[in-house]
């Protein structure tokens, strides 16, 4: 049966078909849908771990116990998990284990565009890269087989374009899952990486990679497609991988192509043979010159980043225009783009949704003009005007430590750190323990919207449900924060502007650390949607003072009506967008916006 | 059978571009084309500008993406977005634009200006071989459900392609809950009429 599947759906299907029994992940665009889909297959265990490191350890534990396992994450998740990836490379395991790294060229939703093939080489683990959904599915089985044959975890490296493109896939049958071993392995020389054992293991993993390189020579996902040798166009040799293969085929239909499905380690003989039969060898790959460097290390001349960009994502146009510039294609290959005389187009930045429970906190922080170290989540959007309330955003879990560091450095202001609930469980907890232990005056605000919002509503330890929707006791923030050593803790409803303001004001003066938990559900959760009730502006009372515009709510619009005195547009509320959170009603100095009770009356 | 089509769908998060591109891709498979569809998730729920690339080819599609100047058809769900993505259109290609304006926050509470309908018309008069401004959302609203605006637009789009209407309707019916089948059927047919 042929079905259109996204790369992520295909990886989930491939894992199920290949008998993966245990999967663990932390959500992260563009990888999130892999586990969401895998979790729906019968007889599998799938979970959201609090972070990527835990996810890799869980997959390792399952593979030690004899079952095929999977851990998935976005590229920067591998940074979090790196320590575990490196020991797993040393120990190997009893059953196949795949780590999916979903890289994000062009940073569609990330803070950097690191190329995680570097990790494969760094940690000595093989790396597979599919070029479409069919391969994304089939390579899961191939990766597990390599993992078992060579006793190593295997990377399956996707990119945003592979994850989120749908292509036709021929579905297969499920191979039976291996049962768990009766006994956990007691094999210290293999599984206890104390220096004495690790020293013995290091040469083994170096040798392993040489064996994988030999294996790569005949690995079916590495293949040469000879071009039109008669016509001469086949004399151009292209080495490529991943989605770049598609652009290469599109732009150079008659060239010879060495498509590498296993991009680390490379098959030296195959590359050498290919290179020897073409006149000019070029490498088409997104981001780093990874294949290019490997080929050059073999002493083979090739061109890559001197022709194609190292930054951002490719498309057929990028490849074609770069090729024309390098003389690989005639100028006549150029595809013209209309030179348009366009009016100015208003930017449409992502914004905090109407009814977002993060809004009031940022309104208060902006008003109090305090320095705020931020973190990653929907709430990062608090950086945008008119709220303009976030001053740093580095990586998940960084904000609390930054605030502590600035405080200890003797900065002349009180530091505030904001962090979402999921991010707090991810890497915020150790940083808050540090604030408590080493005593700084940091005010930490946990924005507890009861869900992992940014990546599209994943459960987390605080929500009371697992990925497979089992009901579990929620991890409660207040006792947790107290247990970390913070005595001053208060929970405030996230839409209560006055209570937030008073608490923040008090905490900014207090000696020692404090934590404010601002709690209310994400407005897009089904339970919150049921309470939506659009508010109204009483036009007679509004004088266009702009206070409500300054909370940055998409539901508040400038109406066509001007105030007689100020000549400023009055406010209007779009009933199709307003949820009735009442933040605007609270900041209105003229009581011109009706509260829910008034609207209902 | 035409050899290939490149489509670019664009709009604002929440307008139903994803369902529309899913239908457009499945119709291709049903009609015997190879197809690839590519979208970027992430910020889509937060009112941002969204786009999907869909490519049909009678033999084989390689690239999931279309470059600037390579779209045969633009299907745009919102007028400012129609301006934003105009460079994707092949000169002389077809553009179907929903007559709908969604002012971004940069307009509603910032200083940016929202373009006029005349500006959209003027741009496409020179650029496109065919340009249709279709009141998709309004037609759907008349039928009682503004959310079916995306299917009205698919109806309009279907008149440019050589796939029978029945194929489209079968795919749409397989995609929507039973109680909305009739509504979507009517919406699709309304879209076809709008192009007459
Ligand atoms: C290491 C790492 N893993 C995953 C992500 C993807 N990611 C960004 S924010 C986020 C979750 C944010 O959830 P939460 O802290 O609850 O805030 P919300 O979005 O709900 O406001 C995730 C998973 C990332 N940026 N970095």
Q: A189-222: per-residue pLDDT in tens?
A: 999 999 999 999 999 999 999 999 999 999 999 9
CA A170 – CA B84 distance, rounded (Å): 37
Verify whether ligand 1 is closer than 6 Å to residue A221 (CB atom). no
Q: Domain-by-domain residue ranges, chain A?
A: 2-216, 223-331, 359-529, 548-600
B4-195 belongs to which CATH class? alpha beta
d(CA B52, CA A438): 50
- Give the pLDDT confidence score for residue A73 in this predicted structure: 98
User: β-strands A236-240, A280-284: how paired?
Assistant: parallel
CB distance A554–B87 less than 8 Å? Answer: no
- CA separation, residue B175 to residues A256, A492, B33, B45 (Å): 41, 43, 19, 21
Closest residue to B38, CB basis, from A2, A165, A381:
A165
CB within 8 Å: B69 and A337: yes
Phi, psi dihedrals of residue A117, rounded to the nearest 5°: -65, -25
Superfamily assignment of A2-216 in CATH? Answer: Thiamin diphosphate (ThDP)-binding fold, Pyr/PP domains (3.40.50.970)
For the stretch A89-146, pLDDT in tens is 999 999 999 999 999 999 999 999 999 999 999 999 999 999 999 999 999 999 999 9
Question: Is pLDDT at B45 greater than 60 in this prediction?
Answer: no
| Nearest chain A alpha carbon to B34 | A168
- The two counts, helices (H) then strands (E), for chain A are 22, 20
Evaluate the CA torsion angle B150, B156, B158, B160 in order and state its sign.
Answer: negative
> DSSP readout, B123-138?
HHHHH-SEEEEE-HHH
> B42 contacts in A (CB within 8 Å)?
29-30, 108-109
| Distance (Å) of CA A301 to CA A19, A123, A272, A276, A446 | 42, 26, 10, 10, 54
Distance A376 CA to ligand 1 centre (A): 5
Residue in chain A lying closest to B68 (CA)? A337
pLDDT digits 0-9 by tens, A139-196: 999 999 999 999 999 999 999 999 999 999 999 999 999 999 999 999 999 999 999 9
pLDDT tens digits for range A301-322: 999 999 999 999 999 999 999 9
Q: Which residue among B45, B49, B91 places its CB closest to the CB of A348? A: B49
Task: Decide the pairing of beta strands B34-39 and B49-57.
Answer: antiparallel
Q: Is A459 in the pocket of ligand 1 (CB under 6 A)?
A: no
C-beta atoms surrounding B178 within 10 Å: 7
Q: Per DSSP, what are the bridge partners of residue A239?
A: A258, A283
Compute the count of residue pairs across chains A and B with CB atoms less than 8 Å apart: 159
Q: Which CATH superfamily is domain A359-529 in?
A: Thiamin diphosphate (ThDP)-binding fold, Pyr/PP domains (3.40.50.970)
CA nearest ligand 1 atom 4, residue: A28
Given CA atoms B63, B64, B66, B71 in this order, what sign does their dihedral have?
positive
Nearest CA to ligand 1 atom 12: A377
What are the C-alpha distances in Å from A320 to residues A248, A253, A312, A590, B72?
A: 9, 12, 15, 60, 18
Across A490-505, average pLDDT: 98
* Euclidean distance between CA atoms A465 and A173, whole angstroms: 31
Q: Which of residues 226-255 of A touch B (CB under 8 A)?
A: 243, 246-247, 249-250
Cβ atoms A15, A177 nearer than 8 A: no
- pLDDT band at residue A1 using 50, 70 and 90 as cut-offs: confident
Partnered with residue A154 across adjacent β-strands are A98
Strand ranges across the sheet with B34-39: A2-6, A165-170, B34-39, B49-57, B4-12, B71-76, B89-98, B130-134
- The domain ranges of chain B are 4-195
* Chain A, window 330-349: residues with a beta carbon less than 8 angstroms from a chain B beta carbon: 335-338, 340-349
Q: Please tell me the predicted confidence (pLDDT) of residue B147.
A: 87
- Compute the distance between CA of residue A411 and CA of residue B157 in angstroms, rounded to an integer: 60
Which protein residue has the closest C-alpha to ligand 1 atom 5?
A28
Written as six digits, the tokens of A53 are 């490191």
Contact by Cβ (8 Å): B36, B61: yes
* Residue with CA closest to ligand 1 atom 22: A28
For the Cβ of A452 lying below 6 angstroms from any atom of ligand 1, the answer is yes
Distance from CA of A133 to the nearest CA of B (A): 10
What does residue A558 show for φ and ψ, rounded to 5 degrees? Answer: -80, 125
Specify the CATH number of the domain A223-331.
3.40.50.920
Q: What is the pLDDT of residue A532?
A: 97
C-alpha of B23 from chain center = 11
Q: How many residues are recorded in chain B? A: 196
Residue count of chain A, please give it: 601
Are A410 and A386 contacting, i.e. CB atoms less than 8 angstroms apart?
no
pLDDT digits (tens, 9 = 90+) for A548-562: 999 999 999 989 999
Find the helix or strand (DSSP H, E) in which A596 lies.
helix A596-600
Sign, CA torsion A494/A498/A499/A504: positive
């Amino acid at each position: 049966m042929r079905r259109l599947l996204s790369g992520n759906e295909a990886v989930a299907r491939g894992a199920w078909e290949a008998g993966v029994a245990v999967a663990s992940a932390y959500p992260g665009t563009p990888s999130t849908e892999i586990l969401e889909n895998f979790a729906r297959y019968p007889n599998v265990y799938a979970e959201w771990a609090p972070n990527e490191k835990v996810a890799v350890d869980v997959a390792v534990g399952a593979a030690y116990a004899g079952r095929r396992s999977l851990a998935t994450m976005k590229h920067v998740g591998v940074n979090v998990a790196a320590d575990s990836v490196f020991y797993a490379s040393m120990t190997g395991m009893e059953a196949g284990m795949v780590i999916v790294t979903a890289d994000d060229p062009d940073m569609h939703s990330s803070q950097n565009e690191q190329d995680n093939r570097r990790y494969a080489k760094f940690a000595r683990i093989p790396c597979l890269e599919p070029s479409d959904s069919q391969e994304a599915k089939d390579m899961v089985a191939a990766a597990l087989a390599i993992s078992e044959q060579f006793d190593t975890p295997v990377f399956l490296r996707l990119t945003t374009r592979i994850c989120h493109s749908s292509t036709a896939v021929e579905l297969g049958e499920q191979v039976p899952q291996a049962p768990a071993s009766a006994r956990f392995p007691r094999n210290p020389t293999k599984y206890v990486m104390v220096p004495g054992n690790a020293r013995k293991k290091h040469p083994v993993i170096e040798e392993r990679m040489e064996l994988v390189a030999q294996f790569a020579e005949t690995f079916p996902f590495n293949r040469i497609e000879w071009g039109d040798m008669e016509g001469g166009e086949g004399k151009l040799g292209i080495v490529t991988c991943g989605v770049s293969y598609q652009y290469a085929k599109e732009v150079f239909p008659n060239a010879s192509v060495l498509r590498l499905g296993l991009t680390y380690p490379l098959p030296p003989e195959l590359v050498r043979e290919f290179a020897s039969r073409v006149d000019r060898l070029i490498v088409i790959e997104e981001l780093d010159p990874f294949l290019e460097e490997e080929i050059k290390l073999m002493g083979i001349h090739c061109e890559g980043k001197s022709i194609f960009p190292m930054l951002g994502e490719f498309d057929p146009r990028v490849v074609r225009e770069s090729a024309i510039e390098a003389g690989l294609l005639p100028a006549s290959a150029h595809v013209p783009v209309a030179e348009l005389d366009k009016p100015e187009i208003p930017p449409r930045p992502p914004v905090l949704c109407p009814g977002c429970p993060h809004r009031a906190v940022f309104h208060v922080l902006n008003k109090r003009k305090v320095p705020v170290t931020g973190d990653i989540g929907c709430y990062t959007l608090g950086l945008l005007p008119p709220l303009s309330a976030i001053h740093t955003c580095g990586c998940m879990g960084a904000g609390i430590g930054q605030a502590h560091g600035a405080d200890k450095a003797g900065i002349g202001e009180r530091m505030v750190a904001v962090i979402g609930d999921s991010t707090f469980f991810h890497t915020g907890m150790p940083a808050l323990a540090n604030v408590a232990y080493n005593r700084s005056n940091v005010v930490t605000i946990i924005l507890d919207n009861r869900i992992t919002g940014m990546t599209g509503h994943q459960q987390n330890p605080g929500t009371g449900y697992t990925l497979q929707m089992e009901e579990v006791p929620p991890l409660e923030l207040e006792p947790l924060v107290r247990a970390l050593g913070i005595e001053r803790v208060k929970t405030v409803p996230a839409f209560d502007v006055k209570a937030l303001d008073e608490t923040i004001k008090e905490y900014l003066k207090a000696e020692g650390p404090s934590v404010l938990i601002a709690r209310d559900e994400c407005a897009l959760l089904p339970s919150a949607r049921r309470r939506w009730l659009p508010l109204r502006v009483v036009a007679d009372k509004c004088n266009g003072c702009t206070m409500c515009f300054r909370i940055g709510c998409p539901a508040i619009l400038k109406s066509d009506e001007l105030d007689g005195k100020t000549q400023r547009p009055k406010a209007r509320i779009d009933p199709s967008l307003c949820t009735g959170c009442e933040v605007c009603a609270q900041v209105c100095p003229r009581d011109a916006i009706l509260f829910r009770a008034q609207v209902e009356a | 059978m035409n050899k290939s089509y490149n489509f670019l769908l664009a709009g604002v998060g929440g307008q139903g571009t994803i369902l529309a591109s899913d239908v457009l891709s499945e119709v291709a498979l049903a009609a015997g084309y190879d197809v690839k569809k590519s979208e970027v998730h992430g910020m889509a729920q937060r009112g941002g500008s969204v786009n999907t690339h869909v490519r049909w080819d009678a033999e084989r599609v390689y690239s999931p993406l279309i470059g600037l100047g390579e779209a045969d058809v633009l299907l745009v769900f919102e007028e400012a977005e129609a301006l934003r993505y105009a460079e994707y259109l092949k000169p002389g290609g077809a553009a179907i634009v929903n007559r709908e304006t969604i002012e971004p926050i940069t307009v509603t509470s910032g200083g940016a200006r929202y373009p006029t309908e005349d500006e959209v018309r003027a741009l496409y008069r020179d650029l496109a071989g065919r340009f249709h401004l279709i009141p998709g959302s309004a037609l759907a609203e008349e039928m009682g459900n503004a959310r079916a605006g995306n299917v009205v637009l698919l109806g309009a789009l279907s008149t440019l392609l050589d796939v029978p209407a029945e194929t489209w309707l079968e795919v749409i019916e397989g995609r929507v809950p039973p109680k909305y089948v009739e509504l979507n059927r009517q919406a699709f047919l309304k879209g076809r009429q709008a192009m007459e």
